[in-house]
Amino acid sequence: MASRIRFAIPILGRLIIINARKLFLLIPLAVGLMACSAETVKTSSNLGEKTPNMAVSKVDYKKKSEIIDRIKSPESVLSILIQKLESEWPTLFTVKTEEDLLQRYSFITWHIHPEAKQRLQNNLSTLHPEYQEYIKLLKEGVLPAKKYTVTNISIDKYSSESITVTAQYELLLQNGQIKNMKVSMEGNTNFEKFNQRFNTSEGELLPNPATKEEENSRDFIFSVLTTDEVRKLTLEELSTLFEH
Residue 98 has pLDDT above 80, yes or no: yes
Residue 18 has pLDDT above 50, yes or no: no
Residue 182 has pLDDT above 90, yes or no: yes
Can you give the pLDDT at residue 191?
Answer: 76
Instruction: Tell me the percentage of the chain whose pLDDT exceeds 90.
Output: 42
Number of residues that this document lists for the chain: 244
Q: Domains along the chain?
A: 75-193 (3.10.450)
**Low-confidence winner among 145-149, 180-184, 216-220 (lowest mean pLDDT):** 216-220
Non-local (6+) Cβ contacts of 233 within 8 A are 67, 71, 241
Can you give the pLDDT at residue 100?
Answer: 96
